[in-house]
Structure 1
Amino acid sequence: MTMTRTLGRSGIEVGAIGMGCWAIGGPLWGDDGQPFGWGEVADDESIATIHEALDLGVTLFDTASNYGAGHSERVLGRALAGRRDRAVITTKFGNRCDEATRRATGVDASPAYAVASLEGSLRRLGTDHVDLYLLHLNDLPAAAALDLVDTLEGLVAQGKIRGYGWSTDHPASARAFAEAGPHCVAIEHDESVLNDNPEVLAVCDAFELASLNRGPLAMGLLTAATRTVGVDDVRGRAPEWLVWFRDGRPAPEWSARVAAIRTALTSDGRTLAQGALGWLLARSPRTVPIPGCRTVAQARENLATLALGPLPADAFAEVERLLADLRAAPAGDAGAR
């Protein structure tokens, strides 16, 4: 039987692990040549991966209007044609881009853009509603985010979205949004065995919100396939917030932490990725990891965790002991965002 979780106070039931769809969007560029995508992708393989994920128990698919300048939504829409009733779609707004040039063109937190962006997303996804609509601006001041609540509630009333939330790592922001929005049902935040965020998890507990975990595999660092990446990959020229990679290679200080906990994460025969996902499932009953998958093989490995279940209590305790020792070590390691 597939392991499931409830999507916060919405009552929507989803598979306990979702699929992140950033990587299947392909390239996106900033004006200065900064890559914001994961390089070139094969759409047929992406569609096969989505179908495999559905068959293995995934119901939640997480995308955004700017992933590949809308390409991720288009591919997801193609893959879910005739299968929409099996999927819970999360998409996001706030980052503008140009579809023709695949360029990021700035941010927009206005209520009018929240409505316009949703219309574009619905068109690309080929659906009449999305299940979860997330504000995609991590550091937006809470006052500006609260200006969106009435508009988002209106979209719920119109049946265009079933619930909404914020992709933010800041507990005060998450709390303010949850307090103001009756249909705020989830917070998406960076969460992994390398970067726990107990403050945001506490907000999710207090307001009965789902915790959607982006970066559950630390952008690939918590997999056996980590390697040097190309210049069209966001990890190849990592922005300041992306601490796991430097110059296209895994950052040595974080690779050392992975090495220190690898045995504990894999002690019951799991792969490293399955151990990292199992840690998240053991961390809280609210967590829904959303690892990115670009190939059928990646989907099969990641989603085998649904059958393996949460990391066993003794292994979880050992990981926590090891991490406590590492955190107590002398300063010098880079901190995660």
Structure 2
Amino acid sequence: MTMTTETTPATGAAVQRRTFGPDGPDVSILSIGSWNTYSRLSFEAGVALVQHALELGIDTFDVAYYRDKPHTEVLFGRILEVVGAPRERYRIVEKTWFSSYPERSLAAQLDATLVRLGLNDVDVILSEHPRPGMDVQAIAEEVADLVVSGRARAWGGMDWSPEQLRIAYEHLSGLGLPTPQGVQLKYSIARQAVVEGSEFQTLHRDTGITLMASDTMEGGILAGKLAPERRIGIDTGNIREQIIALVPDLQEVAAGLGCSAAQLALAFCLSNDAVSTVLFGATRPEHLDDGVAALGLRRRLGAEHIRELLLPYAVSGHKNDAPYEHAVDLTADFIA
């Protein structure tokens, strides 16, 4: 397996960096999500969260236009303005969707996103996975053009299958266009099947495409919150009850290692060399500190030992996200 390049920041920050794909930008090995994050915080708490993240060296932020949280980018852009960090100090990962496509092109979506964020570009643009019947090669060209245009430094897929990514990679390589550098996929102690499977591992080895691990704590369940009050990610494969049943055993493992269940969950994802960055939800500074502690756990135990310890906890039945069913940009609550 091709290893990502990992570096220690010269700033003295606690969090190391890896490259996003073979030719993409460097990103912090920990990254912060935005769905149900800034919308649940006071503005001042959001500013404090981002400031603390940057102090730790967590400078990669996954942001998007969400149909049920349509002002997330505006909130985050205003937070960045108040924090006042120079543009080169942070990395922005954004998304495009097919809910209003092709009436609204991917370029038009990204242009609108940049206005909401108050930025001129993003570091990585992720495309939602092509829906059934879509031309993967044509979609790949359209996303690659966002990089050519200077709107993004690199692109990747979100829940794209290894087969789709390989098609895109080979097609764009032949045209001399920017190839996909990474993919955002669900990956956790429980949901291992796709990332640990031979298709993705072979793709990673052959192309250098890396992973942005998402749903790393199953919406907080793997951290011990067995009945999350907020909406969490899609339960592909209908295995969530089995995941909940794992939690007591994982808490026992964590206790034996002298760490929290949240730290254990993050340390597992950090132990995979194919991972560029581990995406997790954080609404309090101490959640960010958990991430740094997970890095310490990985260093203390070693990646191989962590994998040997936790690979047996995989739940069978996990698969890539199914195509989203919604066909409009906004939920009914926001449509006039």
TM-score with structure 1 length normalisation? 0.77
2:289 to 300, 303, 318: 300
What's 1:185 paired with? 181
Distance in 2, Cα, partners of 1:205 & 1:142: 28
On the 8 A contact 2:168/2:179 being kept in 1, the answer is no
Query: How far 1:150 moved relative to its partner?
Result: 2.8
What's 1:75 paired with? 75
Code of the residue aligned with 2:179 in structure 1: it is H
* 1:96-129 Cα distance to aligned partner (Å, 9 max, x none): xxxxxxxxxxx13438520111011101111100
Query: How far 1:176 moved relative to its partner?
Result: 1.9
- Whether 2:163 is the aligned partner of 1:172: answer yes
Query: How far 1:133 moved relative to its partner?
Result: 0.6
Q: 1:49-198, aligned counterparts within 5 Å?
A: 49-66=49-66, 68-81=68-81, 82-83=84-85, 84-94=87-97, 107-110=99-102, 112-136=104-128, 138=129, 140-141=131-132, 143-168=134-159, 170-181=161-172, 182-196=178-192, 197=194, 198=196
| Percentage of matched positions with identical amino acids | 21
On the 8 A contact 2:298/2:306 being kept in 1, the answer is no
Distance in 1, Cα, partners of 2:33 & 2:291: 12
- Whether 2:231 is the aligned partner of 1:234: answer yes
Question: Structure 1 residues 69, 51: closer, same or farther in 2, change over 3 A?
Answer: same
Q: 1:292-331, aligned counterparts within 5 Å?
A: 292-309=281-298, 312=302, 313-320=304-311, 322-323=312-313
Question: Structure 1 residues 108, 299: closer, same or farther in 2, change over 3 A?
Answer: same
Structure 1 range deviating more: 81-90 or 197-206: 197-206
- SS of equivalent to 2:280: coil
Query: How far 1:148 moved relative to its partner?
Result: 2.4
Question: Structure 1 residues 309, 75: closer, same or farther in 2, change over 3 A?
Answer: farther
Question: Structure 1 residues 22, 201: closer, same or farther in 2, change over 3 A?
Answer: farther
CA RMSD, Structure 1 to Structure 2 (Å): 2.7
* 1:243-293 Cα distance to aligned partner (Å, 9 max, x none): 465xxxxx3x32222222333345432211111111111122434210011
Distance in 2, Cα, partners of 1:279 & 1:172: 25
What's 1:288 paired with? 277
What's 1:331 paired with? none
- SS of equivalent to 1:193: coil
Structure 1 gaps of 5+ residues are 27-39, 96-106, 246-250, 328-333
Query: How far 1:67 moved relative to its partner?
Result: 6.1
Distance in 2, Cα, partners of 1:176 & 1:276: 32
Code of the residue aligned with 1:309 in structure 2: it is R
- SS of equivalent to 1:216: coil
On the 8 A contact 1:280/1:287 being kept in 2, the answer is no
Structure 1 range deviating more: 116-125 or 16-25: 16-25
Question: Structure 1 residues 119, 261: closer, same or farther in 2, change over 3 A?
Answer: same
Code of the residue aligned with 1:86 in structure 2: it is R
On the 8 A contact 2:213/2:275 being kept in 1, the answer is no
1:5 to 8, 15, 18: 18
On the 8 A contact 1:212/1:287 being kept in 2, the answer is yes
TM-score with structure 2 length normalisation? 0.77
Question: Structure 1 residues 58, 239: closer, same or farther in 2, change over 3 A?
Answer: closer
